[in-house]
Amino acid sequence: MMKHLGFILLLPALILSCRVSAQIDDKEVLMTIDGQKVTVGEFLNIYNKNNVQTEVADRKSMDEYLDLFINFKLKVRDAEMAGLDTVKSLREELAGYRKQLTPPYFVDKETLDMLVKEAWERMQYDLRASHILVRVDPMASAADTLAAYKKIQTALERARKGEDFGKLALELSEDPSARDREATSQRPFLRGNKGDLGFFTVFNMIYPFENAAYKTSKGQVSDIVRTNYGYHIIKVFERRPALGRAQVAHIFFQIPANAKAEDSLRIKMRADSVYQRYLAGEDFTKLVKEFSDDKGSAARDGVLPWFTCNRLVPEFMEVVYSLKPGEVSKPVLTSYGWHIIKMIDHKPIGSFENEEQDLRQRIEKDSRYSLTKSHLIAKLKKEYAFSENSKALADLLPLLDTNIFHAKWTVPSSKKLKKEIFSLAGQKYTLNDFANWLSKNQKKMQKADLGMYLKTKYKEYVDEQVVAYEDSRLETKYPDFGLLMKEYHDGILLFEITQKKVWDKAIQDTTGLLAFYESVKNNYMWPDRKEITRVQIRNIKDRKMADLLAKQVVEWINFADMTLTTMKEKILENDSTLIVDIERDKVAAGEESGADELTQPQSYSRKDETDESGRISLRIVVLNRLLPPMPKELDEVRGHVTAEYQNYLESEWIKKLREKYPVVVNREVFEKIKNQ
């Protein structure tokens, strides 16, 4: 689809390499081509592309450029007259380029900058928090939503009165990780966390949850927060300066899930004993290999991959925060067993300048990025005088049924659907418009409350129409974007018409190419050359055999009517173990070792080499004939002649275009450009 991209990007360089700064009105008409207006802005946009600001354009270069620019526009006009701008594949390609270029126009840059700054500030701290979750679907009915809210409100009241948060999570949280989960055939026993989420930092949690956590002080419980999972309350237990990234090694002593008290004690004593051996001077790596139950990391001297604060259980992380590179901890207990931890290395958070680009990229992939679009939509609604009659939605609700969750709903006939539901930039949108959009975009999904479904889809529809209207105005609202799309449009047409009129024709028109070759062949001459026969024979057993073979070769080449294949066979009759290469060639001076000194036909040169085993390699060059200067054959210069033929076809094409399409240049405007 994007086959023309490289050609389009090269367009400015193909035209000329100069630069001028526009001080006159970009909308002034510089010229008309076949009655079509070309503005100063379009002319200078391409003129200035890919050129250095400090380069000064002289009057001569500007005149040269004008001529090239006219040729370029004439070709584009010819493509339009040939209907290439209506070809489906080319229209789709242009639409594809446009789709790639538009995303930056649908982002509120102020919001994006705010999110980057916010993320940077949050990166400076790691939090440890617990939560209680009451599940409720985003499209749940009002009654179900209210019931969930009352339940989480009760949890909040009890938590703020001082009840133990872990016990409350065990009792009320609908997050399965809060309680122990027995082993199954698919997974091992999982110990409940009582709501404890461990340590986390920016981007580790969904954005609304992250917001609530970072806005809650240490030791406090957050207000109720809604996410796609339901309602949460969050208690923040720790707020530490950020770890950044760390790498540690550990010696691990596993405690089985079904271990008895005496077994657990024995494992602790084993960990303490190993730690004492380390303190006594034994090598940490040696102890890892001898004692660690984590065989995967033991094979790497106990070293774990680099991690951030949310990757390991909180008890482990509490110790990591306190270690400096090279330090080793006392045994620490986690839900998995005992660990002796050695800090290998630590990389703190970089400066804002170093982190900014990465933050922007991460935000673009995060749910919070939707804020840049929603804030832009809010601004566009104001700009385009958006007004709505949302109460009209009530007239559509009775016409909906659960078929819509099976993608089988059809729009019923109803006068109520003629009601206006909102207007945008003076354009009215009716309930019928919305209903038809619903029908077109319905998908199979889990059943939900119809009222919430309708409300959610209405917002989606409004947002889509606002964005679509803005999208339709990009070329006029942002002149630079309009000029860029014009470049892509013209570049695609230029490529296609040039391929048809010049490139493909030069390759496919064999008769025309041959006739053109005859007219220019004297431009492609061979110099004085020599036709030679080159013979190389290896693995000759002695000097006597080498002399015999040399004599035979020269006689056969000069006096026998023998093909090269027959000659090779005759040589091998002397000794089948010989390695023989024979070829005939035409060479110019300096191209062939052993040929330059040969001046008469039938003369020859000989070179012998002997290897360590005493075997001889024989190289003979025989001059067959002297060749005077002559034109190269078409097949020998086809690439060069084809390129020249293409240039010829293009120049002839331009002559016809100049005759076919009238060009009128406003010289007064052009002089303004030249003189600024």
How far is C-alpha 36 from the geometric centre of its chain's CA atoms?
38
pLDDT value, residue 422: 97
On whether the CB atoms of residues 136 and 231 are closer than 8 A, the answer is yes
pLDDT value, residue 326: 96
The residue count of the chain comes to: 676
- Whole-angstrom distance, CA of residue 479 vs CA of residue 100: 17
Q: Which residues pair with 581 in a beta bridge?
A: 536
SS3 category, 379: helix
For tokens 């839900």, name the residue: 335
- Whole-angstrom distance, CA of residue 198 vs CA of residue 193: 9
pLDDT value, residue 10: 52
User: Which tens digits make up the pLDDT trace of 4-40?
Assistant: 655 555 554 444 444 444 467 888 999 999 999 999 9
Instruction: Please report, in angstroms and rounded to a whole number, the separation of the first and last CA atoms in the chain.
Output: 41
Eight-class DSSP state of 181: B
- Whole-angstrom distance, CA of residue 240 vs CA of residue 317: 11
- Whole-angstrom distance, CA of residue 200 vs CA of residue 103: 31
Long-range contacts, stretch 314-321, CB < 8 angstroms, 24+ apart = 314/128, 314/196, 314/198, 314/199, 316/341, 317/198, 317/199, 317/243, 320/243, 320/246, 320/248, 321/240, 321/243
pLDDT value, residue 54: 41
- Whole-angstrom distance, CA of residue 515 vs CA of residue 644: 13
Structure tokens at 203: 């981007």
Low-confidence ranges of the chain (pLDDT < 70): 1-23, 50-60
Eight-class DSSP state of 307: B
φ/ψ (deg, to 5) at 199: -90, 145
Q: Residue 371: which of 101, 118, 137, 99 has the closest Cα?
A: 118
Domains of the chain: 125-241 (3.10.50.40), 245-348 (3.10.50.40), 384-472 (no CATH), 528-628 (no CATH)
Taking each helix axis from N to C end, the angle separating 59-81 and 479-498, rounded to the nearest 10 degrees, works out to 70
On whether the CB atoms of residues 68 and 16 are closer than 8 A, the answer is yes
Structure tokens at 648: 């010829």
Structure tokens at 104: 């930056």
On whether the CB atoms of residues 425 and 472 are closer than 8 A, the answer is no
DSSP string, 561-610: ---HHHHHHHHHHH-TT-EEEEEEEEEETTSSTTTTT--STT-EEEEEEE
Eight-class DSSP state of 180: -
Alpha helices in 207-300 (DSSP H): 207-214, 261-279, 284-291, 295-298
pLDDT value, residue 180: 87
Longest dimension (CA), the chain: 118
pLDDT value, residue 8: 54
On whether the CB atoms of residues 227 and 245 are closer than 8 A, the answer is no
Q: Residue 386: which of 417, 433, 421, 434 has the closest Cα?
A: 421
Structure tokens at 510: 């064999």
DSSP string, 453-522: HHHHHHHHHHHHHHHHHHHHTHHHHSHHHHHHHHHHHHHHHHHHHHIIIIIHHHHH-HHHHHHHHHHHGG
